[in-house]
Amino acid sequence: MIKVAKFGGSSLADAGQFQKVKAIVEADPSRRFVVASACGKSSPSDHKVTDLLYLCQAHLRYGVSYEPIFKEIETKYYAIKEALHLSLDLDAEFARIRKMMNKDVSTDLLVSRGEYLTSRLLAEYLDFDFLDAADVLAFHYDGTIDYERTASQLSSRTGERGVVIPGFYGALPNGAIRVFSRGGSDVSGAVIANVVNADVYENWTDVPGFLVTDPRIVKDPMPIKRINYSELRAMSYMGANVLHDDAVFPVRSKNIPINIRSTNDPDAPGTMILSDCSEMDAMDPPPIITGITGRKNFTALTLTCSHASALPGYLRQILEVFEEFKVSVESVPMTVDTISVIVSSDAVSENLYDIVNQLREKIKPDSLKIEENLAMIAIVGRAIQEKPGMSGRLLSEFGRNQINIKVISQSADELCVTVGVNNRDFEKAVRCIYEKFIAEESKGAEG
């Protein structure tokens, strides 16, 4: 059994968190590959090391002293080293970084130092080997991962002992450091899980798993026990945020489950993300709704054109206009002669009227209506398809709560029902679906 355990910044924010990480790693000898983020915030007023490093880089660029910011980074690492009685020569490490900063350091190299230092300290504390991501994680020049080289570099450097590998960065073929986008240690962990053919990729964070809905809208929502990759994609696309989007592909391609766990509550099982949940669902049936998510600020452009449905290519011509303006389309609900195209309001903020003019010119609709301030809510659940009457129950719940539905759509795989409501009804709608379909049903299941 091989587990890759990635610990996020909040799991490594201070010495106390390092202790929790050690207990987690030591509790299971199969956790042999540890991937670490840079130290995160240890309190709400604290700063993430990566944010501070980006700030140092900005100060360098404008020729302003970065000293007070750099000091803050040093203080954080010295505090961890001292509290845990470690021997890493931080004086030498920081001297090296300062030297780089005086010599036109690249942004990627500088901001990667948070993961580098955190991993050096963690490796010593765990008594694991430190493996620099620059020697392991290989990028092609176009920024994609070179899996072959990563696999061979890693296997030539590992034996029986556990290793700590910094997340977030790797090296280009010429050796230059390259980082992923923010939150990219999730991707590093997924790539390592792929190349070592892990049995599970554990992603340790500060929440007890992937939550059913946004905790800013519903107080203490339940964690999701199991979710499949398609559901996860639908949830992330519509705004739920636990895992970096690019972290899914490397593990999905090898059917490696992801287990989201909380460092602050290590006994909780967290969320299992699987390619196929059906085997486990057969033993432990899932709730009808896996998750509720959504975003505000969409715009609907509704075209009515009599006999449109009989005109081949009509839909393509409409969508081409959006393509020309490089606007991606979120949803296209349609009835006989009416088509609504829903797009994010941000995406058309600069060119809405040019798009409208083009549509008028090319399509010559009988009418074209614009409606702004729409919120789209995605109600996601692999079990929805087994429940006839589910959409009816959803709609009547909206009706009972006096929430006007502007748009509704569902694809034939029945994985996700998308409902468009006015922005001002967004939170209320999420809460009422949670109450009815999650809270009440779970009480029912218990009772």
Please, which residue, 43 or 328, has the CB nearer to ligand ASP? 43
Written as six digits, the tokens of 227 are 């979710």
State which H helix or E strand residue 376 sits in. strand 367-380
Q: How far is the CB of 166 from ligand ASP (least distance, A)?
A: 9
DSSP 384: G
Q: Residue 29 and residue 77: Cα distance in Å, rounded?
A: 27
Q: Residues interacting with ligand ASP, by CB under 6 A?
A: 9, 37-38, 48, 50, 114, 167-168, 182-186
DSSP 184: T
Please, which residue, 203 or 302, has the CB nearer to ligand ASP? 203
Please, which residue, 182 or 424, has the CB nearer to ligand ASP? 182
Please, which residue, 183 or 291, has the CB nearer to ligand ASP? 183
CA angle 104/108/110 to nearest 5° reads 60
Q: Where are the beta strands (DSSP E) in 275-366?
A: 291-304, 329-331, 338-344
Q: How far is the CB of 184 from ligand ASP (least distance, A)?
A: 5
139 by DSSP, 3-state: which? strand
Calculate the alpha carbon distances from 304 to 181, 315, 397 in Å.
42, 12, 29
Please, which residue, 132 or 330, has the CB nearer to ligand ASP? 132
Written as six digits, the tokens of 209 are 């798993």
Q: How far is the CB of 334 from ligand ASP (least distance, A)?
A: 40
Q: How far is the CB of 38 from ligand ASP (least distance, A)?
A: 4
Residue corresponding to tokens 């977030």 = 168
**Contact between 72 and 41 (Cβ < 8 Å):** no
Q: How far is the CB of 119 from ligand ASP (least distance, A)?
A: 11
Please, which residue, 167 or 287, has the CB nearer to ligand ASP? 167
Please, which residue, 203 or 299, has the CB nearer to ligand ASP? 203
Q: How far is the CB of 115 from ligand ASP (least distance, A)?
A: 6
**Contact between 286 and 321 (Cβ < 8 Å):** no
Nearest to 240 by CA among 263, 255, 221, 254: 221
Q: How far is the CB of 50 from ligand ASP (least distance, A)?
A: 4
Residue 301 φ then ψ, to 5°:
-110, 115
